[in-house]
Structure 1
Amino acid sequence: MSEEYSSDNLYEQFAQVMNQTQDLVKKMEQLQAKIIAISEENVELSIENKHLRQMIKEKQPHHSENQLSGSRQNLKELYQQGFHVCSEYYGKRLEPNESCTFCLDAIFGHEQGMTK
């Protein structure tokens, strides 16, 4: 009878572990659902935040001497990466610590009311 008792005890232990495992799986599924909901909300808020920043930026007064148009901003970024953006040397690499008056004029000249 001791063998039968130990078999019953073993079955009870197995059933208990099985129940604990099922409870753990349920809790993990609940946590996963919460994580997904929070992640979705985070993405939505990030997009909304980006749109609101863009709206604020559009509503702020523009100062032409401080702000460049999109195309001039692109030229400025290329120039900062070390490439000529002037018509004379366009696309050629700048030497280290080199500046180019033609490039600066192409980027900032017309924005500051200067003409060629």
Structure 2
Amino acid sequence: MDKREIFDALDGFSQNLLMTLAEVEAIKKHLQGVIDENTALRLENSKLRDRLSKEEKEDAKSSNYGKENLENIYEDGFHICTFSYGQRRDNDEPCMFCLELLNRD
């Protein structure tokens, strides 16, 4: 190997190193973007989970409120079943259809 071949080989190696360094920098830049996006998504996910939790609590309260209203109507002596809804129960006798609605989960 003469000096020229060694110089050309080193020059090629140097070019390859520069290209590899540029690729590493591009990958680094892309990775930083992915990390930033991941952080933003984690924050958004956390906020959405908090909001969902609040919504679920509110839904649970409102569903209990509706059931309480039905119980009050039944206790006042009226049917809450689909067959006789709103009609007065004779002598406040129990209705198996109304009771089935009240006992549902």
Do Structure 1 and Structure 2 share a fold, with TM-score over 0.5?
yes
Return the offset for 1:52. 0.9
Q: Give me the TM-score of the superposition, normalised by structure 1.
A: 0.51
Give the CA RMSD over aligned residues: 1.1
Counterpart AA for 1:5: D
* Alignment partner, residue 85 of structure 2: none
* Alignment partner, residue 80 of structure 2: none
* Alignment partner, residue 50 of structure 1: 53
Q: Give me the TM-score of the superposition, normalised by structure 2.
A: 0.56
Query: How far apart, CA to CA, are the structure 1 residues paired with 2:59 and 2:6?
Result: 78
Matched, 1:32 2:35: yes
The match for 2:18 among 1, 15, 19 is 15
How big is each residue's C-alpha offset from its partner over 1:51-107, in whole Å with a ceiling of 9 and x where there is no partner?
0111122223254xxxxxxxxxxxxxxxxxxxxxxxxxxxxxxxxxxxxxxxxxxxx
Aligned length: 63
Q: Give the match's secondary structure for 1:24.
A: helix
Counterpart AA for 1:18: L
Runs of 4+ deviating beyond 3 Å: none
Q: Which of the pair is proportionally richer in helix?
A: 2
Q: Percent same amino acid at aligned positions?
A: 10
Return the offset for 1:8. 0.7
**Structure 1: gaps (5+ residues):** 64-116
* Alignment partner, residue 4 of structure 1: 7
**Higher RCO (C-alpha under 8 Å, 6+ residues apart):** 1
**Structure 2: gaps (5+ residues):** 69-105
Return the offset for 1:35. 1.0
